[in-house]
Amino acid sequence: MSTKSFQDLIKEVHDIGICQECGGCVSFCSSAEYNIIGFKDQYSPPVYINEDKCLECGICYYICPQTHILDDDLNKTYKFSDYSSMPIGYYEDIYSCQATDEEFLEYGTDGGVVNSIINYLIEKKMINGAIVSRTDAPFSREATFADNKPDLIRSSGTKLDISPHLDEIQKFSTYTHSIPELNHYKFKKLAVVGTPCQLYTIRCMQDLGVTPSENVEICLGLFCYENFFFEKSQIKKFEKDFNIKFSDIVKINIKEDVIFRLKSEGTGEKIIHIPFNHLKEYMRPACNACDDFTNIFADISFGGLGSPDKYTTVIPRTEKGKSILSQVINAGIINCLDLDSNKKDKMTELISQFSQSKIKRKEDFMKNII
Ligand SMILES: Cc1cc2nc3c(=O)[nH]c(=O)nc-3n(C[C@H](O)[C@H](O)[C@H](O)COP(=O)(O)OP(=O)(O)OC[C@H]3O[C@@H](n4cnc5c(N)ncnc54)[C@H](O)[C@@H]3O)c2cc1C
Ligand code: SF4
Ligand code: SF4
Ligand code: SF4
């Protein structure tokens, strides 16, 4: 394999508009202490900062989710063959679960399962904490470390006591730069919650044995059809098109469409469903070039799709994922619906449809840029 460098990522990934801004290259650069590459701002791909110090080692190139260099290794480790035979990756079972803790359930995105599991792992000292994402406005989140229940509740789906200062904000993104956060917790055992692009880069680093990926004890993967990005000028259009005031958004759920829960005078809560294809102009462009919907390399994947309101769809994949899931079920941390095989088949069929639609979207997009 010829030696590659960040320069090749610029040519092959950035210049054709498919950088997912996952931050893997920045976090795992072999010479991170020299600040060779970095994000100039959090809404565009990373750039060279000190190019003359680049070792041309190629690490950034190998772990990028858009170069697919290590796919064969990962497929073998995570028992994945191809999307046509496994549209939702390798799994043996699928569940619909809910937190038994009232606060995790109330503030959780769906069933509050992800944060309940993290809390259990912290209490049992299986991890020191987790890289999660805290809401600071309806469409803006920030990566953060949580090692206790109050911090996890603050990182749950519902916006708590934060009033968004919309006038001060120029851009919004639903995407969180979680991976660079790993570098701040080098000596801790971590869980990481992430989108498929983020967990892919961690798995590549683990495959190559590069620091600090060995600290990641468990990868908790979110389903992800796409993420959204708003310029300030688009906010007014969005509000007008969908008759939604940003400041009224209490919660966002993603299932077959995007569900906005709004504060509403008198009636309590108003719910608006918007199909994905109506939100195209707000989608992060690089999400077009992504084909993993269900986070096929996670230890356990989680989504809203397929489960009733206030329940999370849970797909354990690895031995570690399966063991942790059975521990939290046995400990009464989460309850799972008693689904018969017919119901499970329907869930997997629906999730497969979304996976296939994402794969097709990538195929169509790539045809136009290559
Ligand atoms: C950007 C995004 C897109 C998604 N797209 C889909 C989809 O298309 N279809 C679908 O079925 N489900 C999707 N999900 C997953 C779904 O919204 C829920 O996160 C999932 O069902 C878990 O719910 P829960 O109540 O069990 O999680 P909770 O217990 O509420 O925990 C959620 C965890 O996710 C973390 N988190 C929140 N936002 C981010 C982020 N941007 N990056 C990294 N971590 C984050 C939180 O900090 C928390 O630790 C998406 C989630 C996100 C964040
Ligand atoms: S997709 Fe991730 S690893 Fe690849 S260039 Fe973009 S930020 Fe770096
Ligand atoms: S030193 Fe290696 S990992 Fe860092 S930018 Fe250069 S090629 Fe990429
Ligand atoms: S669709 Fe999700 S996983 Fe794919 S690039 Fe966008 S944010 Fe990352």
- At 231 the pLDDT is 80
Residue whose structure tokens are 């000028």: 233
- Domain membership flag for residue 248: no
Number of structural domains the chain divides into: 2
Give the 3-state DSSP-derived string for 216-266, with helices as H, strands as E and coil as C: EEEEEEECCCCCEEEEHHHHHHHHHHHCCCHHHEEEEEECCCEEEEEEECC
- At 334 the pLDDT is 98
Residue ranges making up the domain that contains 174: 88-226+283-369
Task: Say what the pTM is.
Answer: 0.94
State whether 41 and 151 are in the same domain.
Answer: no
Closest C-alpha to ligand 4, atom 6: 287
Indicate if the pLDDT at residue 125 is higher than 60.
yes
Q: At 12, which CATH number?
A: 3.30.70.20
- At 262 the pLDDT is 87
- Domain membership flag for residue 271: no
Give the ligand 2 atom nearest the CA of 286. Answer: 1
Q: Minimum-distance ligand to the CA of 105?
A: 1
State whether 287 and 355 are in the same domain.
Answer: yes
Indicate if the pLDDT at residue 64 is higher than 70.
yes
- Domain membership flag for residue 196: yes
Indicate if the pLDDT at residue 9 is higher than 60.
yes
Closest C-alpha to ligand 4, atom 8: 197
State whether 34 and 182 are in the same domain.
Answer: no
Q: Ligand 4 centroid to 123 CA: how many Å?
A: 31
Q: Ligand 2 centroid to 228 CA: how many Å?
A: 18
Question: Would you place residue 139 in the very low, low, confident or very high pLDDT band (cuts 50, 70, 90)?
Answer: low
Residues 6+ apart with CB under 8 A from 309: none
Tell me the backbone φ, ψ of residue 92, rounded to 5 degrees.
-110, -25
State whether 37 and 161 are in the same domain.
Answer: no
State whether 199 and 336 are in the same domain.
Answer: yes
Which residue in 348, 365, 310 sits closest to 95, CA to CA? 348
For the Cβ of 26 lying below 6 angstroms from any atom of ligand 3, the answer is no
How do residues 156-193 score in pLDDT, each as one tens digit? 874 433 344 445 555 666 777 777 788 787 778 999 99
